[in-house]
Amino acid sequence: MMARAFWATAPGQGEIREEALPPRAPEEALLRTLASGVSRGTERLVLHGHVPESQWQAMRAPLQEGDFPFPVKYGYAAVGVVEEGPPDLLGRRAFCLHPHQDRFLAPAAMCAPVPEAVPDRRAVLAANMETALNIVWDAAPIPGERVLVIGGGVVGLLCAYLVARFPGTNVTVQDTDPTRRAVAEALGARFAAPGEAPAEQELILHASASPEGLRAALGLAAMEARIVEASWYGDRSVSLPLGEAFHARRLTLRSSQVGSVSPAMRGRRSHAERMALALSLLADPVLDALVGPEVPFEALPARMAALLAPPPAGEQASGEPAPLCPVITYGAAAGTTERGMHRACSA
């Protein structure tokens, strides 16, 4: 059986390559892809060759092929129908940490069933929701806290969505893009542009992937505040003003990374259980605000660089929202009907 996959081949460039799938092993499942999501921050680093050599192994996607910097087949947000595999998965939709490819084989243990209440285009957020869930576990919010999320990308907004559900919690999202205001407010948070965020924040989640954002977090933190660093900087160095009020205010700066289950839940939740919880949390239709635009798979080589690019200042000024999680669709043949909560993928 033949399959087609998107490969990053040079800085800012990619192509669709055809490949033959090997025979399916007994422990594997064969999936026909319905949709896949683009993780703009991580995939921007990959497409432009900015993954540092020291992190090539750590940054490998679970089912990646090729090696950094190029050529590499990368991605981790695919939703498909299981066409062959274990009886408990056969015919069901599943989420899998697989690159952009129209059909693929994966270990059945990596295929997480998608709940009926979660449509295809929202299910591609599963990896981002899993990351946000792990960040919130690391952060351990307290009801009633003043919480600031710096960075209104998909992960930052999902963190805000989760923390805003804590009783009495006051959540603000800070971002340089004013078009993020409507999304943040729809998810239950306030919005602030840089320089407008309230000070004396007791918990700050940093997800802007910007050194300026992390420096702002240090300046806005209250006495003994916790700052959780969830950004990934690739090959960039970050300098911080740790010689100012950092020690006097007894601030805590902690990293968070999804590769390991947070210590708060380690030993009590497996990776599979964390993913199942993340998928169940995507049942809320308000999260549709995070996905789009939809792009046909065949158009990826021509459009991927633009999908990953920061929005021009003119677009922000005009009020046109920048993409959050673009959704790759795989043609009418790969779609599903509206029966249940399945949603067709149209090219």
Length of the chain counted residue by residue: 347
What does pLDDT average to over the chain?
92
Asked whether residue 183 falls in the same domain as residue 231, the answer is: yes
Asked whether residue 250 falls in the same domain as residue 139, the answer is: yes
Examine residue 315 and state whether it is found in any structural domain, yes or no.
yes
Question: pLDDT by residue (tens digit) across 154-189?
Answer: 999 999 999 999 999 999 999 999 999 999 999 999
Asked whether residue 200 falls in the same domain as residue 309, the answer is: no
Structure tokens at 95: 């989420």
Asked whether residue 301 falls in the same domain as residue 241, the answer is: no
Asked whether residue 92 falls in the same domain as residue 154, the answer is: no
User: How large is the average pLDDT for residues 81-103?
Assistant: 98
What DSSP string describes 40-94? HHHHHHHHTT-S-GGGTTTT--TT-EE-SSSSEE----EEEEEEES-TTTTT-EE
Quick one: pLDDT at residue 15? 98
Q: Cα–Cα distances in Å, from 102 out to 16, 21, 44, 77?
A: 10, 11, 21, 13
Question: pLDDT by residue (tens digit) across 120-141?
Answer: 999 999 999 999 999 999 999 9
Which of 255, 290, 313 is the endpoint of a domain? 255
Which of 255, 271, 298 is the endpoint of a domain? 255
Structure tokens at 99: 């690159």
Asked whether residue 155 falls in the same domain as residue 46, the answer is: no
Structural domain for 144, as ranges? 131-255
Which of 220, 255, 290 is the endpoint of a domain? 255
Examine residue 6 and state whether it is found in any structural domain, yes or no.
yes
Examine residue 66 and state whether it is found in any structural domain, yes or no.
yes
Question: pLDDT by residue (tens digit) across 317-343?
Answer: 445 667 899 999 997 544 333 323 333
Examine residue 117 and state whether it is found in any structural domain, yes or no.
yes
Examine residue 347 and state whether it is found in any structural domain, yes or no.
no
Examine residue 273 and state whether it is found in any structural domain, yes or no.
no
Asked whether residue 119 falls in the same domain as residue 150, the answer is: no
Query: For residue 114, what are the contacts with CB-CB under 8 A and spacing of at least 6?
Result: 79, 92, 93, 94, 95, 120, 123, 126, 279
Query: For residue 342, what are the contacts with CB-CB under 8 A and spacing of at least 6?
Result: 93, 119, 120, 336
SS3 144: coil
Number of domains in the chain: 2
User: How large is the average pLDDT for residues 304-315?
Assistant: 75
Asked whether residue 136 falls in the same domain as residue 207, the answer is: yes
Asked whether residue 245 falls in the same domain as residue 138, the answer is: yes
Structure tokens at 75: 């991605």
d(CA 263, CA 255): 12
Examine residue 339 and state whether it is found in any structural domain, yes or no.
no
Examine residue 270 and state whether it is found in any structural domain, yes or no.
no
Query: For residue 339, what are the contacts with CB-CB under 8 A and spacing of at least 6?
Result: none
Asked whether residue 196 falls in the same domain as residue 241, the answer is: yes
Structure tokens at 306: 């633009």
What is the CATH classification number for the domain harbouring 286? 3.90.180.10
The answer to whether 336 and 120 have CB atoms below 8 angstroms apart is: yes
d(CA 214, CA 196): 15
Buried b (16+ CB within 10 A) or exposed e, 21-53: eeeeeeebbbbbbbbbbbbbbbbbbbbbbebee
Asked whether residue 97 falls in the same domain as residue 160, the answer is: no
Query: For residue 273, what are the contacts with CB-CB under 8 A and spacing of at least 6?
Result: none
Asked whether residue 89 falls in the same domain as residue 190, the answer is: no
Judged against a pLDDT cut of 80, whether residue 33 lies above it is answered with yes
Structure tokens at 272: 């599979």
What H or E segment, with its residue span, contains residue 216? helix 211-220
